[in-house]
Amino acid sequence: MKAVIFDLDDTLILERDYVFSGYRAVARYLSVKAGTDEDRIYGLLREEFERSAKNVFNRMYDRLGIAYTEEDIKDLVRVYREHEPDIGFCEDVLPALKDLKEAGCRLGVLTDGYLVTQKNKARAVELDRHFDAIFYTDELGREYWKPSVKGFEILSEKLGVPLASMVYVGDNPGKDFEIMKAAPIKTVRIIREGGVYAEAPYGGECRENKRITSLSALRKAIEELF
């Protein structure tokens, strides 16, 4: 039996969809707090994100001409991270999961990120309905985020599948494939159009075993690995 472990962001869901959902929540919150039009705030947030993902809230305040403090920024970050997202799976996800289940694969999710944020995402797409096991690395602390082997070991135990029979599907070359140095896990990189890390550099020596642009090609890629 094989186990296929998936990353969440830009693998099963689009990170941009989550970002824009968060911006809508922030715009709604700030429109009440500051008496400014929600759609205008949302539009500014999206414009600034397209310029750079850094300090978006600061630049939005600057464009609105509203004085702000560090606490004001933290307040918006809290709203963003804790909001209930309006997101869904990428269209290739459910057919691919069905295909893998028919092939006898066990399915899991391993995801980094702030715990409340990742659990809200999981709830929005009903992740637990489709996977045999889910592990949020932030439950143990940031030191156990990828490329730590701990999350993979926990999923190996939950799924009853050895590490050598696991495949990890991720998108971030900065960290998703470094697990290959610590464990006999095979990896597949998915590169989605508009993915946040589609053009990012690798974070170390490791390169994925297979590369795909759609999960529709995943079963074949896995069959070629074993």
175-203 pLDDT, tens per residue? 999 999 999 999 999 999 989 999 999 99
Residue 31's pLDDT is: 95
Q: Structural domain of residue 65, as residue ranges?
A: 16-82
Evaluate if residue 1 carries a pLDDT over 80.
no
E strand segments, the chain: 3-6, 106-111, 133-136, 166-170, 186-190, 210-212
The verdict on 77 and 104 lying in the same domain is no
56-100 pLDDT, tens per residue? 999 999 999 999 999 999 999 999 999 999 999 999 999 999 999
The residue out of 82, 112, 133 marking a domain boundary is 82
Percent of the chain's residues with pLDDT above 70: 100
The verdict on 45 and 94 lying in the same domain is no
The verdict on 134 and 51 lying in the same domain is no
What total number of domains does the chain contain?
Answer: 2
The verdict on 50 and 162 lying in the same domain is no
E strand segments, 49-119: 106-111
Residue 65's pLDDT is: 94
φ/ψ bin of 104: left (φ > 0), alpha (ψ from -120 to 50), beta (otherwise): left
The verdict on 182 and 203 lying in the same domain is yes
The verdict on 95 and 194 lying in the same domain is yes
74 Cβ contact list (under 8 Å, min separation 6): none
Distances in Å between the alpha carbon of 28 and those of 5, 23, 34, 60?
36, 8, 10, 14
Distances in Å between the alpha carbon of 203 and those of 16, 102, 172?
22, 35, 9
110-138 pLDDT, tens per residue? 999 999 999 999 999 999 999 999 999 99
The verdict on 63 and 115 lying in the same domain is no
The verdict on 148 and 116 lying in the same domain is yes
Residue 142's pLDDT is: 94
Rounded to the nearest integer, the mean pLDDT of the chain is 96
Residue 36 token pair:
């400014």
